[in-house]
């Protein structure tokens, strides 16, 4: 019973880890999309420095979110792997 629970937890945490990695790797394109959207919302023009600020901040935010998700789930994977090892 406990072994099945640990396997389920490991599966969920593994998927969460992959989501974090996807966020980290796709952060630049998400930031560029946010910058393009801001230009469209401002009637097709805006200062270059504002555009780059939006792109940089959005990219950094998504990268940090992915990093936190990956780190927490990575430690969870290690912990659940150890628990599964102790069950065997």
pLDDT in tens, 58-83: 999 999 999 999 999 999 889 888 88
Angstrom distance (rounded) from CA 50 to CA 17 = 33
* Burial bucket for residue 40 (CB in 10 Å: 0-12, 13-18, 19+): exposed
pLDDT single digits (tens) 8-49: 888 899 999 999 999 999 999 999 999 999 999 988 888 889
User: Could you tell me the two tokens for 10?
Assistant: 């490991």
């Amino acid at each position: 019973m406990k072994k099945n629970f640990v396997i389920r937890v490991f599966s969920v945490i593994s998927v969460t880890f992959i989501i974090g990695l996807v966020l980290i790797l796709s952060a630049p394109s998400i930031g560029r999309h946010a910058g393009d959207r801001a230009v469209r919302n401002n009637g097709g023009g805006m200062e270059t420095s504002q555009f780059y600020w939006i792109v940089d901040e959005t990219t950094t935010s998504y990268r940090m979110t992915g990093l936190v998700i990956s780190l927490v789930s990575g430690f969870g994977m290690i912990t659940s792997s150890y628990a599964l090892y102790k069950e065997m």
